[in-house]
Amino acid sequence: MVSIRKRPKKENTKTYKKNMGTSIENQPDVANNRTEFRHWEIDLVLFKKTKNETLLLTLVERQTRYTIIRKMNGKTAQCVLRTLKNIFKQYVKLIFKSITSDNGSEFASLSELESTYLSIYYAHPYSSYERGTNENHNGQIREFLPKGKSINTVKKSTIRKIESCLNHKIRRKLGYRAPAELFLLRVDRLIKTGFPSRHTLFFDLTRKPWFLLFGY
């Protein structure tokens, strides 16, 4: 039985919202307890509520706290799907074993990505604390890009620098290591244990050094 992440003392009294897919209650213990690599949380970060405003899609790997940030023009389910597919092309989708999102309509199409190798889970409605890692990292992003600031003109290179800064920040919870360091160690371990030989879709080592794919 999965141990669901604890609810804060303050209760949320908003109207009930139906779960769109497989509940976080079915998430395996190894993901919930951070004992296995490749389990991610996803969210969108909106900075300014104006028409045609660009927003950020963020992904955080639960065990290593490695963060991926991408600019996204639009908040539709198809925009999310297209952005994720582009991320999969860079990182290769088999590095993602599960993705957990909230119940926003923008994540309604995530189930289209489900396969033998990828599971999609939805947190309980109005329960952002169940994706606390992602929420925490979104707060750190706002230290660079405060709420109310338009990011339409923020360059992708700036977003990459913010991503790199978060991934190279030494963290006490990680034993005073950086997320990028742990992420690379986990990927290296997968390669050494024969991960590529069992799955044809992984890093193309002949095209580019695999560590460069992670912004190192």
The predicted-structure confidence for 99-146, as pLDDT tens digits, reads as follows 999 888 999 999 899 988 899 999 887 776 677 788 888 889 999 998
What's the mean pLDDT in 144-154? 89
Q: Which long-range contacts (CB under 8 A, 24 or more apart) does 205-209 make?
A: none
Classify residue 126 as left (phi > 0), alpha (psi -120 to 50) or beta. Answer: left
Q: Give this prediction's pTM.
A: 0.81
The enclosing H or E element of 60 equals: strand 55-61
Q: Are 125 and 17 in contact (CB under 8 A)?
A: yes
Residue 126 CA neighbour count, 13 Å, CB half = 9
**Largest Cα–Cα separation, the chain:** 54
Q: Closest Cα to residue 19, out of 27, 28, 8?
A: 27
The per-residue pLDDT for 9 is: 52
Q: How far apart are CA 62 and CA 134, in angstroms?
A: 8
Position with higher pLDDT, 213 vs 84: 84
CATH tag for 24-214 (out of 3.40.50.300, 3.40.50.720, 3.40.720.10, 3.30.420.10):
3.30.420.10
Q: In the structure, what pLDDT confidence band is assigned to residue 7 with cuts at 50, 70 and 90?
A: low
Q: Which residue has the tokens 């955080």?
A: 60
Q: Average model confidence (pLDDT) for the chain? A: 82
Residue 73 CA neighbour count, 13 Å, CB half = 5
The enclosing H or E element of 180 equals: helix 179-192
The per-residue pLDDT for 203 is: 42
Strands 119-122 and 55-61: unpaired
Domain coordinates in residue numbering, the chain: 24-214
Give backbone dihedrals phi and psi of 83, rounded to 5 degrees, phi first: -65, -40
Q: What percent of the chain has pLDDT over 90?
A: 49
